[in-house]
Amino acid sequence: MSLPIAVTLGDPAGIGPEIIVKAFRDAGDDMRGCFVAGDVALVRRAARRLAAPGSLALPVSEIESLADVAGVPPNCVPVLQVVKEADASIPLGEVSALAGRVAGDCVVWAARAALRGDIAAIVTAPLHKEALAAAGFGFPGHTELLQSEAAAHLGRPVSEVPVRMMLANDELRTVLVSIHVSLREAIEAVTFDGVLETLRITHRALSAVLGKPPRIGVAGLNPHAGEGGLFGTEEREIIAPAIAAARKEGIDADGPHAPDTIFMRARTGEFDVVIAMYHDQGLIPVKYLGVEKGVNVTLGLPLVRTSPDHGTAFDIAGTGRADASSLIEAVRVARSLSRERVKAG
């Protein structure tokens, strides 16, 4: 690909800058064509902290434009200064509005660059939702912020740019009907339109990735998928009709199935992806299999966005213990999705 991939800085009080430096240090080939959309001083701070005693830190090169990415030598972290120069003394492991502002502004810059077609994809290092809120961003996370930017770019209301979160690793994929809402709100979000839209988005996105229509397993909301109405009627009144409507459109959807067994069935190959009714129902199984290979993909956006399957890990920020595997995997997935997007035209 001729266009570079932007890796956003993440919350500088967390492990984002650290895993970015580790990724460029340890996975050179995978990181070729990538650059950091962030702050030079904060990336250099992370590089110094990771340097072995008596050794030089990994070089951090400030680039002036996207055209410079291709010319950055190996074993060097290219950084484009996309925010007002930050105070490199931002304390590690603490929620702050300043850190939230840096993290959020990096994402906004990358989103707009991707929507203009200047970059191939965005890989977002973790941000902290409380810090983002403290900085004045009115979004609970990356997904909603990116959705808002996409809607503004397209000149549409946010409601007309539906997106879904997919968590994936080598063994399991799951797509969520609702994302960052309370459990009570998540139950209320299980509607005919919401489930059907999730099935449509999943079918379109994974058909491009897999090169064939995906086999979609749909989880129920209630224990035993409602047990014929004994434990709830959402399956009978909402989920099953949405599946039937999707099947009429040619979508290979099956269910609703008991939530406590459907993920095992998908893992053994019966389904390519599971539709989960709410955040924790879908994310717990994927994360239990190991966050080091998990990747978060936002489906439905007019851009490619992936992210590691973990948070800011304030408790280990600056210790050098953070694992960059999930970030590296997110870059690989972003590159693959970008290629598929180019093929699809």
Q: What are phi and psi of 303, to 5 degrees?
A: -155, 165
Ordered by where they begin, the domains of the chain are: 1-163+294-345 (3.40.718.10), 170-289 (3.40.718.10)
Contacts of 303 (CB under 8 A, 6+ apart): 111, 114, 115, 121, 122, 146, 150
Confidence of residue 345 (pLDDT cuts 50, 70, 90): low
State pLDDT tens for residues 98-147.
Answer: 999 999 999 999 999 999 999 999 999 999 999 999 999 988 889 899 99
Mean pLDDT value across residues 223-244: 90
Q: How far apart are CA 318 and CA 249, in angstroms?
A: 51
- Report CA-CA distances (Å) from 238 to 52, 124, 253: 57, 34, 14
State pLDDT tens for residues 196-219.
Answer: 999 999 999 898 878 899 999 999
Q: How far apart are CA 67 and CA 289, in angstroms?
A: 39
CB 23 within 8 A of CB 31: yes
CA 78, distance to chain mean position in Å, is: 22
Angle (nearest 5°) at CA 303 between 154 and 205: 110
- Side chain identity, residue 293: K
Which of 45-59, 130-144, 236-250 shows the highest mean pLDDT? 236-250
Kindly write down the DSSP assignment for every residue of 41-98, as one continuous string: HHHHHHHHHHSPTTSPPPPEEEESSGGGGGGPPSS-EEEEE-SSPP-TTPPTT---HH
Helix (H) or strand (E) holding 140: none
Contacts of 322 (CB under 8 A, 6+ apart): 15, 18, 19, 22, 313, 316
pLDDT at 291: 63
